[in-house]
Amino acid sequence: MLPYAVQLALILSNPFTKAVFYYDASGYHRGLFQLPLYVICFYYVGFGVVYCLFFKDVLLRNLRFSLYLFMIICIGSSLYQFFHPLYLIENFAITFCLLLIYLNLQRPEDFIHDHTGALNDYAFSKNFLINQRTQRQNRILFLCIEELSVLNYTFTPEKVLLLLSAVTTKLEHASRQSVYYLGNGAFAIMYKSQKPYSTDALLKRIKSIFESSWDIDSSKIDLEFRTLELSLPKHGPNLETVYLYLEYLQELDNSNHWSLSADDISIFDTARRQQVEAAMKWAIDNDGFEVYYQPIYSTGKNSIASAEALIRLRTEELGFIPPDEFIPLAEQNGMILKIGHIVFDKVFRFMSENSLNKKGIEYVEINLSMIQCMQEGLSEELISLMQKYHIDGKHINLEITETAAATSPKMLIQNMTLLSDQGITFSLDDFGTGYSNITSLLNLPLSIVKFDKSMIDMASGDDTGKMILDSSTAMIKQMNLNIVAEGIETMLQKETLVQSGIDYLQGYFFSRPVPGPEFLKYIEEFNCV
């Protein structure tokens, strides 16, 4: 401000001092102190250049270009007029540049949410970036209205918008700050972090405005909400992290906590979920999924007679991602159908190209998720792929979980029936994990039951476990079903299960899941093909 004060003093006192310029009978003349005004001008232009470079990520490109152009023309015209005083082009050039800047300025409406009157998410991101560049010790308070979907279902859209507008007004009054509306019932307040008790006072004022009902267009509405406080830059090193905290708050299911602090929670799970979902999307688009095969030993033939196809995902950023992590996510976001088709296609092609049936492989097991079981077009999809790769249905076995089988939906039974007509067999996976239901075995067209590893371990540990295994084996055998025992790791387990009459054995004792080429080499060596 000091250079500006000096400049202002020189100009205001000029009628008396004639220090900057003056007129006489011969015309216009420069005063002794006009040169300092040019120095001050160049000082502010230089300051402006530094400021624009510092905030280049915040300014729009067109506006940034206009500001740089303004500075160049300002310096150029000032220098020209300094050496040629009779050509008064400086003010004209500056006026032209101001017009250019004005035309590139954003309208205030671009920063306002259309229906609530609050600042929008665009304004929030811009102000956050400014805060990040200046490294201010500020705080963000997120406020999320619970069950907004219920309000949208109960009231008209116009009434809900009136409600959100009223919330905005009261939040602005209570916080004495600008309020941002980020959509889906989420508000944000960004304020200075000056005193440790400032947040407590703010929360107290906000809580008071929600204690009574909201009278909106002759309707009384009670609102519940939750809040989350962040300290900047501690909890918000970047905008992505800040939005992860907001997503965490929005996903809470009617939390008992009225207010939360970022110190008390971890957003690792949310961040990891987004990374894994991005990895799955990349793998779908770029053929990034692999199929591994785990050999299954036939106790009757003393050879590798089948295999289980298992999907694998590995990326440069995350490394190996376990199936029990990305499969549930894929079921939640709907990617499982595309992933399932990829697995079917890769397995059928592998079987066709390598003639597995001629190498002693009776069938290949492929896992089905519950969502796949419910798909009306599942049978048509598999039949089409079988025709494409000339695969006989008897060489395919589809695994369903006990959880899916226990529900016995009509679509599952319909799909199983249609595929069974094509020769495809079915196995019940994870038998013995706690969901066992004999009714499921009786109602579904199954040919194989897979004993879970926990059941095998229990049988190896004590006589009671062995008795349960033997009785379960006898019961299933009476139903004319074959049995696969999973999780075989020792020779003792193998010998015990062979004596118990188990048909097939699968586990690390024989082999870990391996890529296709390694699986081919393994069965050639084991089976002496």
In eight-state DSSP terms, residue 117 is: -
Burial of 479 (0-12, 13-18, 19+ CB in 10 A): exposed
Q: Which of 79-88, 200-209, 359-368 has the lowest mean pLDDT?
A: 79-88
- List of E strands, 232-302: 259-261, 289-298
**416-469 pLDDT, tens per residue?**
889 999 999 999 887 765 544 565 566 788 899 988 887 888 777 677 778 888
pLDDT at 96: 85
Is residue 230 pLDDT above 80, yes or no?
Answer: yes
Nearest to 138 by CA among 229, 233, 58, 202: 233
Q: Region 14-40: what's the mean pLDDT?
A: 85
Q: What is the pLDDT of residue 133?
A: 72
- Let me know: does 523 contact 529? Beta carbons within 8 Å: yes
pLDDT in tens, 278-298: 999 999 999 999 999 999 999
CA dist 208 and 19 (Å) reads: 61
**Alpha-carbon distance 15 to 104, whole Å?**
37
d(CA 404, CA 409): 8
Task: Show contacts of 248-255: CB within 8 Å, 24+ apart.
Answer: 249/142, 249/144, 249/186, 250/144, 250/184, 250/185, 250/186, 252/144, 252/226, 254/146, 254/147, 254/224, 255/226
Residue 243: predicted pLDDT:
84
Whole-number pLDDT of residue 437: 53
Segment among 271-275, 389-393, 449-453 with least mean pLDDT: 271-275
pLDDT of residue 441: 60
Give the DSSP per-residue string, 319-351. EEE-HHHHHHHHHHHTTHHHHHHHHHHHHHHHH
Average pLDDT over residues 482-490: 90
Task: Write down the pLDDT at residue 290.
Answer: 95
- At 305, which helix (H) or strand (E)? strand 303-315
**What pTM was estimated for this model as a whole?**
0.56
pLDDT digits (tens, 9 = 90+) for 92-150: 888 888 887 777 776 677 788 888 888 888 888 888 887 777 767 788 899 988 777 67
Residue 339: what pLDDT?
94
Residues 344-379: b if buried by 16+ CB within 10 A, e if exposed:
bebbbbbbeebebeeebbbbbbbbbbbebbbbeebb
Element (H or E) spanning 220, and its range? strand 219-221
pLDDT at 266: 66
Calculate mean pLDDT across residues 479-487. Answer: 90
> Which single residue is written with the structure tokens 């998720």?
369
> Who has greater pLDDT, 277 or 241?
277
At position 152, the amino acid (one-letter code) is N
pLDDT of residue 338: 93
What is the model's pLDDT at position 151? 76
Q: Say if strands 363-367 and 138-145 run parallel, antiparallel, or are unpaired.
A: unpaired
Give backbone dihedrals phi and psi of 260, rounded to 5 degrees, phi first. -125, 155
Q: Output the pLDDT for position 67.
A: 81
Residue 245's pLDDT band, with cuts at 50, 70 and 90, is confident
166-180, 190-204, 205-219, 344-358, range with the lowest pLDDT? 190-204
**Mean of the pLDDT values across residues 164-171?**
89
pLDDT of residue 435: 47
pLDDT value, residue 279: 93
Q: Is the pLDDT of residue 268 over 70?
A: no
Instruction: Take residue 304 and report the two structure tokens written for it.
Output: 């590798």
* Whole-number Å distance between alpha carbons of 139 and 195: 11
For helices 34-54 and 61-83, angle between their N-to-C axes, nearest 10 degrees: 160
Concatenated DSSP letters of 23-49: EETTEEEE-TTHHHHHHHHHHHHHHHH
Mean model confidence pLDDT for the chain: 83
Q: Is the pLDDT of residue 257 over 70?
A: no
Q: Are 90 and 70 in contact (CB under 8 A)?
A: no
Percent of the chain beyond pLDDT 90? 25
Does residue 77 surpass a pLDDT of 90?
A: no
Q: Span 474-500, mean pLDDT?
A: 89
